Structure 1
């Protein structure tokens, strides 16, 4: 049996006080959390190793990341301004609405074109998240993509 890497997330929780959203958004949340737990690289700078639990929430228009060990010991809390994400998230919401509408009524080539734009904006948000966490938490790009999806879910519900 192979050993799981120490610098990884074993649990991710979104602040439930925000409430639930549309079925599409809840599906995105569930898939992102499942994929994130299955495969991720998450290394709080200066910490000896996890695995880690992550709680994401919004507080005063800021993103709060609370990181603990699997056993519940405090590791670090980061509070990030959401200002650098506002335009990206707004654009992402607009293109997601177009995408969900296209799935119901458009041709495969139209859906593919919208999806390419959606992925591009998502990649931009993921890179912004990696940049904002630089020097605090080391992530790989796939982990940043899944976390950015969860940031969007918090926005949708917040």
Structure 2
């Protein structure tokens, strides 16, 4: 579309890296060799590992590494520095809730995995919203994807439940 652009973090990181390359090549205000590295697929949890497994530092040995990550929440022109590891983790959490099926007329004989899952989601939200977290606001992340999956034993009920869940969730 004319006049539109995606503008994700990759664009900012790539642009910044290219700007650093341009500046370094113009000024040559350093001695030694500079390797500019862009980590692909960091949001998929494996970009760095693949680079290491492919022998990145065997091909391009480094005496020191300086990494950066843009911070859209930081004021323009502000640079935040930290020695050591920073923003070096992305995780996937999987929770399996095993309920116990029961007849609709006797729910007290069952364990409703849906209700348990709902309570877990609400409790997880309070980790960020109700606890003091001593990391800069620009370094925090919220879960960007949650998958809830139900398993029914009765085919007709499963079909009805799928339709009902799809309809109800679309309205939220």
Instruction: Give the TM-score taking structure 1 as reference length.
Output: 0.27
Which protein is richer in strand relative to its size? 1
Q: Which has the higher contact order (CA 8 A, sep 6+)?
A: 1
Instruction: Give the TM-score taking structure 2 as reference length.
Output: 0.26
Which protein is richer in helix relative to its size? 1
